[in-house]
Amino acid sequence: MIRNYFKIALRTLWKSKGYAAINVFGLSVAFCVCVFLFLTAYRQLTFDDFHEDSERIFQLYFVTNHAEKTDRSTATPLPLVPALRSEFSNELAAETRIWRGTKSLVTYQEKSLDRMVVGVDSGFLNVFTFPLSKGSRQTALRGLNGMVITESMARSVFGDAEPIGKPLQLGSGKDQQTYLVTGICRDIPDNSSIHFDALIRIESTNNYHAFKDKWDAYSGKSYLKLAPSVSEQTFEGQLRQFAKKYYPDNISKLQTQGGKPDDQGDVFAIRLQSMSDVHFGKELSGGKGTPFAVVYAIIGIGLFILLIACINFINLNMARSFTRMREVGVRKSVGATKKQLFVQIWGESILLCFLGFVGGVVLAFQLVSLFNATFGANVNLADIILMQKGFILLMLGIFLLVTFIAGGYPAITMAGYNPVVVLKGKLSLKRPGGLRNSLIVSQFAISCLLICCTVIAVQQLRFLRQLPLGFDKEQVISIPIGNRADGRQVLQRMRNRLADDPSVVSVTGSGINLGKGKDNVSSRVSLGFTYKEKEVSTEWLLVDYDYLKTLGIKLLSGREFDPAFRTDSTNRVIITESMAKKIGETEPVGKYFETDTSGSRYQIIGLVPDFYLYSVTQERMPITMHLSHTEAINYVFVRVSDQSLSSAMGKLEKIWREVAPEAEFMASFLDENIDEWFQNEERLTQIFIMASSITILLSCLGLFAVALLVIEQRTKEIGIRKVMGATVASVVMLLSRDFLKLVLVALLIAVPLAWFGMQQWLNNYTSRVEINAWVFVSVGVAALLIAWLTVGYQSIKAALMNPVKSLRSE
């Protein structure tokens, strides 16, 4: 029986090759896009869920409610976790600090590598589930000289040799320390918020002892795993009393300054952020987190594309049922039951869906390299098919749902035809077809919605790219120094070599990069202190001479750092306007402030306009630039002239090999680094462009096929109208206007939804575009034109047909 059903299905589809090809193509494209979109969303939603008891793991963060705004920060002082361990030993299952994860020089015999080394507590492997392939998680970090490395680092350093117990040197020069490999950790999953190549005890890191007792030095991150019997709400309530005990001065000062209590009545509080929210915490991550709205948008776009493909499938099946009425009538008249007809017709749909699904998977494998390159992803479909059972079950569920809905409804309808009425030729599809029109409106509404979103997203991205950064990013080359050379020596050598070069405008150095360079490292240093009984937080930026000149930052008042003033390197600073506003000084030059961490007294010697340091999606932060002869210079910036821009990189590479032969040359233009700031917006815009293009393609494909079948049903009517004197233009308008009305209705639905949705998205930005009504007008005109061109071809062809021939064919 099943074999016969299969044979009949193949014969039926072969007779209607055009109809089958349109369906298979549409479904293949839809399934292919859904594989990529749902995979992207699945990866985002499963961030950090590989940790055991992840629902009990939390990151600590501070909430400070000032009179004018609320600050939230995950930077925590080193003594916080030991104090929590002492106060709440029964409530905590495990706890750890993570401090100063930077790339460090790791040496073994004659081999040296730059790797990400992170300082943690001994309880790190009890909080997080990073399985060890060798060693014990209870003892691997027990000793202060123990080191846990990843499997990939073990292969890079030791090859096939046994790494356990082998010594590794960390750092260089007088700061070099020796560690013993005590554990091998499996490589970190791609969807982890925490990344490292090696773990060492936090107590053995540089400067730990200088900060271990300072409650006002916010430089690390803290994580807790609550005991099974303790709830998040209960522990947060206990943290209120803890904050009052350990931070009485902060609370008192905020209350004196008019700090506004939040909904829980706190002006200063220590709160818990669930591990599942760490990846999405945009505010707590300095604007780098992925908003939930983006993930929901990706899922929604995938569902929209799938829905449009299903609509096409249903519309084509229902329109085609007109040509299969007599077949159904004959089958029923010779004894076929309704159930048998349903299985036969639904079987054809299952076969088409299966071909579309297989085609989509094959297409995904063919396009995975393009997808990875376009969206900066690292997708390996073969690994996913073998390992990601959840994702595979999701896609199979979608396939079954599409098959059931898109194929089941037409099969039920066709199987229910009355054979007597059908064979007498009295049954016809109602025109204009309420269901068909509703589905066409739905798919064009989705298409117009996505096109509107695409245009607005492109406008916002262009607006952000054109936003004044506060510095000149053009003609500046950024060179990471790395860990193999002394940054200050390299900077001085570069200055000496380039001093007489007319093509070089200026050279400077800094502790952090702007944007993300080829070393793929980003860092941040914040400093908090009290100024005139006011709590102040500022970005503490290490710079060198000529920093303002090299980056084109103009002085508003005061002066730049000058080698002629020896005290500039010890207690002089340059601040931005936001910082001046933060300390409440309209003329800050000449004023002094004292930091709580070091007790040093700094004098402000210069004031500059605000500039973006980490991201353009948030407000420009208060920045304090300082000079130091002891802190490490990590980046060299070189401004070159217009005329030498093309040859500058080659020249600098040659000089670099002379001044820092041991360090890798990883220079990049600053404007390329800044592109990283727009990464989320760029990818979302690319997804919108791809989705809107595919949805309009599928919508037009479905509209074309439906129009073709409808026009075939009206062949006799068109012939009679032409015999009665109708012109070609009037026939074309007659056949097109019903479809154009549907597109207008779709626009009326899509425009308000697009306006509301994009308003909510734009509210996430401090700098944003205003939505212009012309966006919707232009999208509406474009949609109507596309729809008319889609239907118009078949309409003109039908209108030009010889009426004698069309009437004879009937």
Query: 597-656, pLDDT tens digit by residue?
Result: 556 788 999 999 999 988 887 778 899 999 988 888 889 999 998 777 778 888 888 889
Task: State yes or no: pLDDT of 719 exceeds 90.
Answer: no
Is the C-alpha dihedral spanning 22, 25, 30, 33 positive or negative? negative
Q: What is the mean pLDDT of residues 350-366?
A: 83
pLDDT in tens, 361-384: 888 888 888 777 776 666 667 656
CB burial readout 359-376, b (16+ within 10 A) else e: bbbebbeeebeebeeebe
Pairwise pLDDT comparison (17 vs 70), residue with the higher score: 70
Task: State yes or no: pLDDT of 394 exceeds 60.
Answer: yes
Half-sphere exposure of 501 (CA within 13 A, CB side): 22
Integer angstrom CA distances of residue 340 from 6, 7, 14, 32, 337 = 13, 15, 21, 32, 5
Is the C-alpha dihedral spanning 719, 724, 729, 735 positive or negative? negative
Dist. CA 808–CA 149, nearest whole Å? 83
The residue among 449, 349, 443, 448 whose CA lies nearest residue 403 is 349
Q: What pLDDT shows up at residue 432?
A: 42
Hey, what amino acid is at 324? Answer: R
In this structure, are residues 410 and 318 in contact, taking their beta carbons and an 8 Å threshold?
A: yes
DSSP labels, 78-124: TTHHHHHHHH-TTTEEEEEEEEEEEEEEEEETTEEEEEEEEEE-TTH
Q: What is the mean pLDDT of residues 200-219?
A: 82
Q: What pLDDT shows up at residue 417?
A: 57
In this structure, are residues 218 and 247 in contact, taking their beta carbons and an 8 Å threshold?
A: no
**DSSP-derived secondary structure letter, 202:** G
Dist. CA 153–CA 139, nearest whole Å? 20
SS3 166: coil
Task: State yes or no: pLDDT of 431 exceeds 50.
Answer: no
pLDDT in tens, 432-452: 456 677 878 888 888 889 899
139: phi then psi, degrees, rounded to nearest 5: -115, -10
Dist. CA 353–CA 350, nearest whole Å? 5
Pairwise pLDDT comparison (511 vs 285), residue with the higher score: 511
Place of tokens 């793929």: 520
SS3 592: strand
Dist. CA 222–CA 224, nearest whole Å? 7
Task: State yes or no: pLDDT of 124 exceeds 90.
Answer: yes
Dist. CA 41–CA 27, nearest whole Å? 20
pLDDT in tens, 290-333: 667 778 888 888 888 888 888 777 777 666 665 566 666 666 66
The percentage of residues in the chain with a pLDDT greater than 90, rounded to a whole number, is 20
In this structure, are residues 527 and 211 in contact, taking their beta carbons and an 8 Å threshold?
A: no
Dist. CA 309–CA 637, nearest whole Å? 52
In this structure, are residues 636 and 509 in contact, taking their beta carbons and an 8 Å threshold?
A: yes
Q: What pLDDT shows up at residue 95?
A: 93
Q: What is the mean pLDDT of residues 418-425?
A: 54
In this structure, are residues 410 and 314 in contact, taking their beta carbons and an 8 Å threshold?
A: yes
Residue 742's H or E segment, with its range, is helix 728-762
**DSSP-derived secondary structure letter, 425:** T
Pairing of strands 668-669, 635-640: unpaired
The residue among 705, 637, 74 whose CA lies nearest residue 439 is 705
Is the pTM higher than 0.85? The answer reads no
pLDDT band at residue 724 using 50, 70 and 90 as cut-offs: confident
